[in-house]
Amino acid sequence: MTQPALLAISHGTASQAGQSAIRRLADAVAERLADVTVRLGHVDVQQPDVAASLDALPAGKPVVIVPLLLSAGYHVRVDLRKQSAGREGVVIARALGPDARLVEVLLQRLGALGMHDTDGVVLAVAGSSDERANDDCRAVGAMLAEALSREVTVGFLAAAEPRLGAAVGSARGNAARVVVANYLLAPGYFHDLAVRIAAGSPVARPLLDDDEPPSVLVDIVVDRYRAAIAAEQ
């Protein structure tokens, strides 16, 4: 069987910092999978888009699209399918989350804030019009709560309730300080919005930032690629 290409598809962002962070993840995956053609494309905002990314690969070469997205919302369930429909041999892998390994990164980012036992914790997530994607984020919130042995409220930045501001405000009534865990993949609009809405509460860095990509994130991308291939055999 011809080794499928891995087409990593991010949401896309206008943030230069976000673009660099996503690119470093794709490069780390390519280094890990030295015998695989690895390319990066985007479902929104940036170029190349999905169609252009597929067209740049050799005709007839099988492709596994790995969504660099934290939940399976509209982009995964609808956009990726529509935008790849014109090419045969394309398989769409699972989104990156929910996955317990992402909680490891959340804990590392929270640890950098100097957490205390008395801190309240809110998990900032983007939010989706697809309630299944919101449930994916709630599942990660539950895993984080279990890891911390304390309550974690999920606060949405768009499309779902409770919104982040309300979640932070509610947590402040029960804690000396509120810290915001950041379930966003990279710097960009939503991260900046989370910092503004948190209104003084410390906000952890996103899962990808200006440092090296966490190895577990590389692991997850590779695992999604391999699992998609195995499912087709």
Tell me whether residue 204 is in a domain.
no
Residue 34 sits in a domain of what CATH number? 3.40.50.1400
pLDDT surpassing 70 at residue 206: yes
For residues 77 and 109, membership in a common domain is answered with: no
Residues 63 and 105 in one domain: no
Question: Is position 203 within any domain?
Answer: no
- Structural domain contains residue 205: no
For range 6-15, the mean pLDDT: 96
Residue type, 83: Q
Tokens 């974690």 — which residue? 152
CATH number at residue 190: 3.40.50
Do 89 and 113 lie in one domain? The reply is: no
Mean predicted lDDT score pLDDT of the chain: 95
Residue 57's domain spans which residues?
5-97+211-232
The pLDDT assigned to 233 comes to 80
Provide the number of structural domains found in the chain.
2
Q: How many CA atoms, within 13 angstroms, populate the side-chain half-sphere of residue 190?
A: 23
**Are 136 and 185 contained in the same domain?**
yes
pTM value? 0.96
β-pair partners for 90: 63
Tokens read off for 215: 């190895």
